[in-house]
Structure formats: C-alpha cells, structure tokens
C-alpha cells in the first residue's frame, strides 16, 4: 500500500516540479526578458544562455539540476527498494517540463542520473565531455543521454529489466521531444547575448551556410525564405538558394558562392514579417538581378539590407502594425526564363469561386510584378480535390494553354498545402521545369469566410435583429469552449470576428478557426475540412499532451452534460418557460417587454451552451463507438415528434373521411370534418397539436420567421398532403442497436425543444413590442422591428419618452431611415439565386453566377440516407411553396429545418444544398427510409423543375438526365 501511495506522489509531484518555470523567472528578474516572446519561445537552459548571458544561463543550469536531483531524491525517499522508479520520476519530470514550457529537460536528466547512480552518471558525463572536446558539437551531449545512458544501464544492470526499460523510455522520450522543438542555440551567433557568443562560435566551429535545403525558421530568416525551403521539401522545384541571416558577416557566403556571368545570381529580401498573412510587403524591399561577381554580390547584399530602412518601407510597416525586426537576404541562382509570371490561386477581384488567375509573359517574372509591361491574362477554373482538372479556360495569348493549366494546378496545390489560404505564386518556366520563385498569402483575400456549418446552424436570409442576438450567443459559447482548452493562448484572438453576414447570410471565419485549430494542435487540413468538407487526420500526440489540462476540463463538461442539463431543465428552464407562457404579453408595456426580452436572453445563454455541446457530444460518441446513423432513433426531436403526431392524426382523419364516403379534396377536408362529431374532435386535436408545437417554424433559429402558431394554415396544408398520400409510413424501428448513445441523442432532442421554445417566446415578445410601436406611429409596417438590432431597440425603449419633441422626431427619423435602408438591402439580397459557399476578404462583391458544365452528368455531395430512386425534380426554396409532392418527387431545397419535416416525408428523395449527415433533413430521411444527398453546391440553380434525376443516398451522388 505504501508503494502505491509513493507512486501516486511521484506521478503527481514530479510533473508539477517540471512545470515550475524557474528559468523564466530567473531570466525575467535579471534581464527583463520574457523567454516566451523571444527566439523560439521555448523556456530552456539554451534559451537562457542565448538571450540572457552566462550568469543567467548558469543559474538556470543550477535550478534545473536541482529539479532533477529533487525528483530522484523524492523517489529514493518514498520507495528506496525500486530503483527503476527513480528513472520514472525523471520521465514524469520531463513530461511536465515539455508540456508547459517546451523545454527538453536534458539538464534535469543529466543531474538526475548523477543522483540516481553516480557510476552511470560519471560514465555518461565522461562520454559527453570527451565528445564535446573532440567534436566541438553540443549534439554530443544529447547523444550521451539518448544512446550511452540506456546502454550503460543495460550493461551494469542486465538482470534488472525494469531499469533497462525505464532508461530506454526516458531516452526515447527526450529523442521525440527534440524532434518537436527548435533549439535557441541554433539561432545566429551574432544575435546572442554578448557573453555567450564565444562559446557559441566554438560550438559552431566553421561558419555554417544556410541554404533552402535546410528547415528554416521564419522568425529568424523571414517567411519568404522559410516558405521556399518548405515547398522545396514538399517536392516543388525551387531554384538553389542560400540565406544570410540578419547581422551576419557576408564574406564567407560570398566566397562560397563565387558568382560569374555563366552563373548569375538573384539577391532578394526576406525580411521578418514579409510575405505573411497580414502583410505581403510586395514591392517594399529591393531585389537585384544578374549579379555576376563577388563585388556586385557584396553591394547587392548591402542594398537589400538597407532597403529595410527605406522611409516607404518603414511607413508600410507602421501602417500595418508590423513590429520592427530585421532583414535576412535570400540569394538564388537566376532562372533563364522562357515564360514567367504570377498566379493567384483564387480570383482577387470576384473574391469567390474556383477560378485561378494567371498573368504571364515571355522572359523574367520580374517584368510582370514590376508593372512596366502588360502581361497576358488567363482565367482557369480548377475543379477536383485529389485530382485537379480544368473545367473552363479563358484567355488568348502566345503561351500554350497546357502550360497555363499546369501553373494553375501548381497554384491550387500550394493553396491546399497552406491550409486553404489563397496563394500569390511567382513562377518561371525554362523550357523543361516549372520553377516556383515565391509563394505568399493573398492578404486582400483574408479572412476566408465559409458557409459550411453556418448554413446548417442559421440558414437562409437573416434579419438584423436575429443576427444581433444569435451571433453574440453562438460566438460567446464557442469562445468559452476554445478558451477552456487553450487558456492564455486565446488572449490574442478576437472571437467577435468569428462570424459575419455576407449577402444577409451567415458565414464563419475559417481563417480565425484555422488559427484556433493550429493553437489546439489540430491537423493542418482542418481549415480545408471546414471550407470544403474534406477529411482530417488525427492530431499529433504532442499537441494533445500540451492541451491536456484544457481538454480534461472540456471532457468533464461533456461527462457532466446530462446531469447539468437535467438540473437546469427542472430548476431553470421549465419554471421560467411556464412563467413566460402564463403572462399575457399584450398587456405589458414597452419597458416590461424589454425586461422580458432580457430574461429570455439570459435563458438563451444557457440554452445556446447546451444546443452546441449536446450535438457535439452525440456526434463524437457516435464516431468513437462506430454506430451508424441508421441505428439511432431521433423521435425525441421536436420535428420527429410533431411529424409522428401529424401522421397519427392523419391516419385517423383518413379513416373517418372514408367511413363517411367523403372525397379527399384539399379545399373541403376541414369543412367535411366540421360537419361530424368525430371530425370536430380531429379539428380540436389538430388545434392542440398546433398549440403544442406552435414554436416550430421554417427556420428554427431565426426569430424573424413566423411560427406554426402564427400561421397554422401552413401546417394545415402539410396535414392535408399527408392525408392525400396513399402511403403513410411509420417511423423505423431501430431496436436495441442504438442504446449506446441513445441517451445523448435524446438529450439533444430535449435541448432543441427548450431552445426552440425560448426563441419562439422571444419572437412573440418582439411582436408585442412592435405592435405597441405600430399603434403609436413609430413603425409604419409589420416586421419593421426585425430590421433593428437589439441594442437599437433597447435604446428606443429607454429614450422614447425621455426626449423632447424635436429630439424624439429626429430619433424616429433615424430609426425609419435605418429600417428602410436595411429592408432594401434585405430584399436585394433575397433576389440572389446563388450564394457562394466560400468568400474571401471582408467586402466581397456581388456573387458570381456559377458556370454550368453541360457535359456534367453527376453531382457529388454527402451521402445522408441510404437508397436509390429516380424521379422528377421539384425546386423548393421555401416552405410556403410546398404543393403537389409525391413519391415520384425529388425535392431540391437550399436547407432543411425542423419545420420542414411534414413536407419532406412526402417526397421520394431529397437533395439539399447545405447540411450533412446530422442535419434535420438527413435525420428525417433516414427515419422514413427516403434516399437523401446533402451538400450539393448550387443545386437549386443547377437543377430545374421537372428534370429527371437519379439519386443514390449511399454513395452521395445525383445522376442527371437531359431535359426534354
């Protein structure tokens, strides 16, 4: 029992000891430098030496040595009979150190080994010292711990496998950590603290010349050089190049390169902060071509360095808040170009679509970017994911189209490599090879806005009032989740920019989400997954470990979700909803209605938290357990429950009408029912159903959309269609297959009901307030209130009776002007037939109508419900247009929401422009065995009413037949 407690103490105390940032404190106290903000950002002994000098480095060594000795001593004291546990203590120490400070822990281990076993420690130290003297390389010290330590332990303690295994794991752990982190001692000698430069020069031996073959750090050599070294390692053709870091003496490099007329060089800038996502610095710094001798190279290097301090460049950095840094110089072999130019992986003018724009001409690429000559322009529409192809080519010139297409594929491939961020690519072709001379983000196309997910969460055209409420609620909850995991890493992120409206439609900021993904250590293709629905790989282990404390907190939230919701449901939601429903809102004053709004908004904060976490929880559990969508029962959700009730009532109604020999004519059904007692009972039950599910609407998250309670005739129409349908199906029986995650799915259904009820109460409260203002003459027509934002409504309530006549009239004029302007914009946006899934930049122009390829016979989307069916297309852009739907109808819709359920089940197949396997339409389709395909881009535009199509819900494809 004592051993168990001892192990527990070791496992808890040693990581905490490793996490203690003594080096950071020592450096900050003695030098004022925060190691997180300089160099590599690691808090390590090497960083302390490099940035702080010998004294700080020495004190850091002592502090880390004491940590290693303390960890081993603790283990010796608690469990002296188990020597292997002393190595385990060092493992725990190193893990704690790496996770919190990104240090490798080599100093901890060296001194810990000495305390653990003086003989082993002496042999390892002897090897390290001799190796350092002979090789003059700090790598020898690493090698001593990584290789010699486990070998010595194996020799001395060959009969104790536990020691050998522990020593091997410790060495392997340190080796892995060294693969994950950069070392500050690899930074340029010239920028180190003066006291450590002699030691670093000794360790460096001869001057090392950086080249594009090396893995370069953009914080040291600039993004331009680092990008070129990166894409060179990816396999792109990049001219040979060498990098001169800031402040480094160029003589060794000049002597090494020996330029000549037969091998001319190009000298280019690679400033820190150049070619980034926030500042391209295009044309701000000097580039010099045709350098043919050593003297020219020396002068060119000096000119490029001096261009960093040019007044125009300084002003550029100040205007864009780029911090002052330094200039590296990039020197490359000059390509003898036949054709060259610039390629934009996305159209910087339209800011949307799949077109790549290429400017090209004979000769050097410098002529294109200089603006002194007019290049040929080409537009290539690139389609495909893994295999790229050209669906449209525009442009006439001397350059062969095949070469231009190849440039387009290169540009799009680089965009994909850079997480979907549009790229500005400078290229050259020498008759045999396409050379990439530069790639950088197109800053004017950032951020990237995506309707993926957003089109599902809040679809359709959105009113200002809805957005002013939904956006802060949704972004606030996501910010809470991200901050919980990342902690201080989110301090520089602006979650207020997470979402916006373009064309009165919701878009999420994919660029910001990409930054969050990177901070969380998620795979680099996560942004591509968000914007284009690809697949993502598993996150690297080191990122998971570094975010383990935050992920643990989030996991606890997920585990407590059902318990927390049940408590809030009983203690908060139900009591408050009951109070709200029992108040006659028509009797309330404007001030009382505003108070009611505030109460509902407070409840919606909690509701939004559950409405986001519950579906995530259900989806993640389903994915982990590998349970298919068909094995889950969604009958608890409001849309399924309401549909079940409508169907049961429809069956009863059909029997009654048949018994009395009434013909089932749409316009007469309710009048026939009113003539007989059984029919009047049906009407009463129908009205009760409307009362129970009156909070549902065409778009459940949009309070500007009328509810079933307000427009029961819409539900009557759907009810009649169900009666007319000769085949009324029951819900599928999923048996016991769903039990593993069913409670989470049921929880999601209850959350949806609560959230929808709150939004309905909020809508009805605003309508009551609008009615007051219509009577007083503040508003001129219904729905005016939905064109104001929540804070504007709040101000109007507060100020209406406090202002004098003139001020009040001015206030009302301003309000009416805003309403008129926004209504006009809303109506204009409502006429847009095709909304782009992705737009680039903050001010996109009018949407570009997509080109329909007449030879395209197959559309691909997300498989949502199994089955294959052929039928005729019916385009349905809103719920009110639902008529004449039967099992030969393939409904094509922009999105699906809870209120669409009764109409969707009448169709033989469903095609949706947005949504995935967990969307309302997909759930309904699976429950009723209706083939469905989601995420068919621009389907309501590409397809036409009456067109014959075949949909395969298992493969996610739609096969088109030609129109007659």
Per residue in 556-590, pLDDT tens?
998 899 999 999 999 999 999 999 999 999 999 99
Distances (CA, A) of 725 to 367, 432, 654, 713: 69, 66, 10, 18
The encoded tokens of residue 952 equal 């395969």
| Structure-model confidence comparison of residues 631 and 474, the more confident one | 474
Task: Tell how far CA 57 is from the center of its chain.
Answer: 40
Any bridge partners for residue 959, and if so which? 858, 950
- Reported confidence tier of residue 208, pLDDT bands at 50, 70, 90: low
Q: Backbone phi, then psi, for 562, in 5-degree steps?
A: -65, -45
**Residue 716 token pair:** 């009557």
Tokens at residue 663, please?
């013909």
The pLDDT value given to residue 903: 76
* pLDDT > 70 in the chain, percent: 86
Highest mean pLDDT among 699-713, 837-851, 883-897, 904-918: 699-713
Between CA 840 and CA 500 the distance in angstroms is: 12
DSSP letters along 747-795, please?
HHHHHHHHHHHHHHHHHHHHHHHHHHHHHHTS-SSTTGGGGS-HHHHHH
Give the mean model confidence (pLDDT) for residues 376-382: 92
For the residues 932-946, what does the mean pLDDT come to? 86
DSSP state of 269: E
User: In whole angstroms, what is the distance from residue 75 CA to residue 6 CA?
Assistant: 8
Taking the C-alpha atoms of residue 339 and residue 400, their distance in angstroms, rounded to an integer, is 10
Place of tokens 């065409």: 698
Q: How far is CA 593 from CA 545, 582, 750, 811, in A?
A: 49, 14, 27, 20
Label residues 853-866 b or e (16+ Cβ within 10 Å = b).
eeeeeebebbbbbb
Q: Is 493 left (phi over 0), alpha (psi -120 to 50) or beta?
A: beta
Higher per-residue confidence, 878 vs 854: 878
Q: Residue 181: beta bridge partners?
A: none
Strands (E) located in 293-372: 327-333, 339-344, 355-362
**Residue 299, pLDDT score:** 94
First to last CA, the chain: 83
Read off the pLDDT of each residue in 625-644 and give the average, rounded to a whole number.
77
d(CA 908, CA 888): 5
pLDDT at site 580: 94
For the chain, the maximum distance between any two Cα atoms, rounded to a whole number of angstroms, is 107
Distances (CA, A) of 884 to 724, 907, 909: 10, 10, 14
pLDDT for the residue 181: 75
Calculate mean pLDDT across residues 723-737: 52
Q: Is the dihedral of CA 141, 143, 144, 149 positive or negative?
A: positive
Q: What is the pLDDT of residues 19-69, one digit of tens each?
A: 888 888 888 888 878 887 777 777 878 788 878 888 888 888 888 889 888
What is the DSSP-derived secondary structure letter of residue 183? -
Query: Helix (H, G, I), strand (E, B), or coil: what is residue 358?
Result: strand
Answer yes or no: is pLDDT of 277 > 80.
no
For 186, the token pair is 């690899």
pLDDT above 90 as % of the chain: 26
- Return the pLDDT at 907: 86
In this structure, the number of other CB atoms found within 10 A of the CB of residue 434 comes to 17
Predicted confidence at residue 737, as pLDDT, reads: 41
Is residue 85 a contact partner of residue 129, using CB atoms and an 8 Å limit? no
Q: Which residues of 186-200 are buried (b: 16+ CB within 10 A; e: fewer)?
A: bbbbebbbeebeebb
Q: How far is CA 85 from the centre of its chain?
A: 42
Report whether pLDDT(265) > 60.
yes
Q: CA-based Rg of the chain, rounded to a whole angstrom? A: 34
Report how far residue 913's alpha carbon sits from residue 934's, in angstroms, rounded to the nearest whole number.
6
The first and second tokens of residue 934, run together, are 């989601």
pLDDT tens-place string over residues 466-507: 999 999 999 999 899 888 888 887 877 888 889 999 999 999
Q: Percent helix, strand and coil across the chain, each rounded to 5?
A: 55, 15, 30
Q: Cα–Cα distance between 277 and 287 in angstroms, integer?
A: 21
The answer, yes or no, to whether residue 780 has pLDDT greater than 70, is yes
Task: Give the DSSP letter of residue 525.
Answer: T
Average pLDDT over residues 758-765: 96
Instruction: Name which of 619, 554, 589 is nearest 919 in CA terms.
Output: 619
Tell me the C-alpha distance between 71 and 619, whole Å: 42
CA distance 90 to 72: 7
pLDDT average, residue stretch 239-251? 90
Higher pLDDT, 358 or 76: 358
Which of 30, 94, 78 has the alpha carbon at shortest distance from 58?
30
Cα 394 to the center of its chain, rounded Å: 33
**DSSP states of 187-201 as a string?**
S-GGGS-GGGHHHHH
Average of per-residue pLDDT across 504-529: 76
Q: How do beta strands 957-960 and 434-441 pair?
A: unpaired
Contact indicator for 620, 551 with CB cutoff of 8 Å: no
Question: What SS3 state is found at 483?
Answer: helix
- For residue 683, give the nearest of 729, 691, 885, 698 by alpha carbon: 691
Degrees to nearest 5, angle at CA 843 with 839 and 844: 40
Q: How far apart are CA 112 and CA 93, in angstroms?
A: 10
- Beta bridge pairs of residue 210: 243
Cα angle for residues 940, 848, 824 (degrees, 5° grid): 80
Question: What is the C-alpha separation between 846 and 421, in angstroms, rounded?
Answer: 21
Sign of CA dihedral 407, 412, 413, 414: positive
Q: What pLDDT does 206 receive?
A: 44
Instruction: Determine the average pLDDT of the residues in 76-89.
Output: 85
pLDDT mean across residues, the chain: 83
Per residue in 871-915, pLDDT (tens digit) is: 999 988 776 656 678 888 898 988 877 667 777 878 889 998 887
Q: Do residues 520 and 408 make contact, with C-beta atoms less than 8 angstroms apart?
A: no
Please name which of 838, 845, 840, 839 lies closest in space to residue 445, comparing C-alpha atoms: 840
Cα separation of 612 and 626, whole Å?
21
- Which range, 336-345, 694-703, 888-897, is most confident? 336-345
Instruction: Output the CA–CA distances (angstroms, integers) from residue 158 to 152, 155, 171, in the order listed.
Output: 10, 6, 17
| Separation of alpha carbons 852 and 108, rounded Å | 65
Residue the block writes with tokens 């949504």? 915
Band of the pLDDT at 205, cuts 50, 70, 90? very low
- What is the spatial distance between Cα 291 and Cα 261, in angstroms, rounded to a whole number? 8
**In 401-463, where does DSSP find H-type helix?**
401-417, 454-457
Residue 119: Cβ-neighbour burial (10 angstroms; 0-12, 13-18, 19+) = exposed
Tokens at residue 32, please? 């004022």
């Amino acid at each position: 029992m004592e051993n168990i407690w001892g192990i527990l103490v070791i496992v808890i105390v040693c990581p905490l000891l490793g996490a203690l940032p003594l080096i950071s404190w020592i450096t900050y106290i003695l030098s004022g430098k925060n190691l997180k903000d300089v160099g590599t950002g690691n808090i390590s002994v090497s960083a302390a030496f490099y940035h702080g000098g010998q004294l700080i480095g020495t004190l850091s060594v002592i502090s880390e040595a004491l940590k290693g000795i303390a960890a081993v001593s603790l283990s010796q004291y608690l469990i002296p009979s188990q020597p292997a546990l002393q190595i385990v203590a060092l493992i725990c120490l190193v893990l704690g150190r790496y996770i919190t400070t990104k240090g490798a822990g080599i100093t901890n281990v060296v001194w810990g080994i000495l305390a653990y076993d003086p003989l082993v420690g002496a042999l390892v130290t002897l090897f390290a010292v001799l190796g350092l003297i002979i090789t003059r390389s700090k790598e020898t010290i690493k090698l001593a711990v990584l290789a010699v330590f486990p070998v010595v332990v194996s020799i001395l303690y060959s009969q104790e496998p536990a020691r050998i295994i522990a020593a091997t794991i410790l060495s392997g752990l340190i080796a892995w950590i060294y693969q994950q982190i950069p070392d500050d001692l690899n930074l340029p000698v010239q920028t180190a603290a003066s006291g450590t430069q002699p030691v670093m020069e000794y360790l460096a031996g001869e001057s090392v010349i950086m080249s594009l073959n090396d893995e370069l750090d953009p914080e040291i050599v600039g993004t331009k050089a680092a990008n070129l070294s990166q894409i060179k390692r990816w396999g792109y053709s990049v001219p040979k190049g060498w990098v001169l870091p800031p402040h480094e003496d160029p003589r060794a490099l000049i002597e090494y390169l020996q330029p000549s007329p037969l091998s001319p060089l190009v000298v280019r800038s690679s400033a820190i902060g150049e070619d980034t996502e926030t500042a391209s610095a295009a044309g701000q710094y000097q580039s010099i071509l045709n350098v043919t001798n050593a003297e020219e190279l020396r002068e060119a290097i000096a000119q490029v360095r001096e261009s960093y301090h040019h007044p125009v460049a300084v002003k550029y950095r100040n205007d864009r808040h780029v911090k002052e840094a330094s200039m590296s110089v990039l020197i490359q072999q000059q390509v003898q170009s036949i054709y060259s130019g610039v390629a934009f992986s996305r159209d910087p003018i339209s800011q949307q679509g799949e077109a790549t724009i290429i400017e090209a001409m004979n000769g050097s690429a410098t002529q294109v970017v200089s603006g002194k000559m007019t290049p040929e322009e080409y537009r290539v529409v690139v389609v495909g994911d893994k295999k790229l192809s050209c669906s449209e080519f525009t442009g006439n010139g001397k350059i062969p189209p095949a070469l231009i297409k190849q440039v387009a594929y290169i540009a799009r491939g680089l965009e994909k490599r850079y997480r979907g961020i549009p790229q500005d690519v400078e290229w050259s072709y020498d008759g045999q090879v396409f050379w990439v001379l530069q790639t950088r983000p197109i800053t004017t196309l950032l951020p990237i806005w995506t309707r993926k997910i957003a089109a599902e969460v809040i679809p359709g055209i959105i009113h200002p009032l809805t957005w002013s409420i939904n956006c802060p609620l949704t972004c606030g909850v996501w910010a809470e989740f991200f901050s919980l995991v990342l902690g201080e890493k989110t301090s520089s992120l602006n979650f207020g920019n997470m979402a916006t409206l373009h064309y009165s439609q919701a878009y999420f900021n994919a660029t910001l989400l990409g930054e969050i993904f990177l901070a969380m250590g998620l795979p680099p293709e996560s942004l591509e997954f968000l914007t284009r629905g690809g697949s993502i790989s598993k996150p690297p282990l080191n990122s998971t470990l570094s975010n383990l404390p935050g992920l643990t907190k989030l996991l606890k939230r997920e585990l407590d979700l059902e318990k927390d919701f049940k408590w809030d449901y009983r203690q908060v939601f139900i009591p408050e909803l009951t109070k709200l429903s029992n108040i006659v809102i028509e009797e309330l004053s404007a001030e009382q209605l505003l108070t009611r709004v505030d109460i509902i908004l407070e409840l919606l904060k909690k509701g939004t938290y559950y409405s986001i976490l519950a579906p995530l929880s259900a989806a993640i559990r389903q994915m982990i357990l590998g349970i298919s969508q068909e094995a889950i029962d969604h009958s608890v959700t409001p849309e399924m429950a309401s549909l079940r009730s409508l169907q049961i009532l429809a069956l009863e109604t059909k029997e009654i009408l048949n018994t009395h020999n009434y013909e089932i004519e749409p316009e007469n059904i309710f009048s026939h029912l009113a003539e007989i007692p059984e029919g009047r009972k049906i009407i009463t039950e129908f009205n009760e159903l409307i009362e129970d599910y009156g909070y549902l609407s065409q778009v459940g998250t949009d309070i500007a959309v009328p509810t079933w309670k307000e427009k029961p005739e819409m539900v009557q129409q759907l009810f009649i269609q169900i009666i007319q349908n000769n085949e009324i199906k029951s819900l599928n029986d999923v048996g016991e297959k769903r039990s593993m995650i069913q409670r989470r799915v049921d929880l999601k259904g209850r959350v949806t009901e609560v959230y929808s009820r709150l939004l309905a109460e909020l809508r009805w409260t605003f309508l009551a307030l609008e009615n007051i203002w219509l009577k007083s003459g503040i508003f001129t027509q219904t729905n005016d209130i939905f064109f104001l934002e929540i804070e504007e409504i709040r101000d109007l309530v507060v100020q209406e009776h406090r202002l004098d006549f003139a001020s009040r009239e001015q206030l009302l004029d301003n309000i009416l002007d805003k309403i008129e302007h926004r209504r006009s914009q809303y109506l204009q946006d409502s006429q847009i037939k095709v909304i782009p899934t992705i737009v680039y930049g903050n001010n996109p122009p009018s949407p570009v109508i997509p080109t329909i390829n007449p030879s395209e016979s197959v559309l691909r989307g997300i498989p949502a419900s199994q089955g294959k069916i052929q039928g005729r297309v019916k385009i349905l852009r809103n719920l009110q247009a639902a008529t004449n739907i039967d099992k030969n109808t393939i409904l094509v819709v922009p999105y699906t929401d809870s209120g669409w359920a009764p109409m969707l089940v009448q169709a033989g197949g469903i095609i949706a422009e947005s949504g995935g396997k967990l969307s309302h339409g997909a759930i309904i389709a699976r429950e009723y065995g209706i083939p469905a395909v989601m995420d068919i881009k621009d389907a309501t535009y590409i397809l036409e009413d009456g067109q014959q199509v075949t949909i395969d819900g298992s493969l996610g494809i739609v096969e088109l037949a030609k129109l007659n």
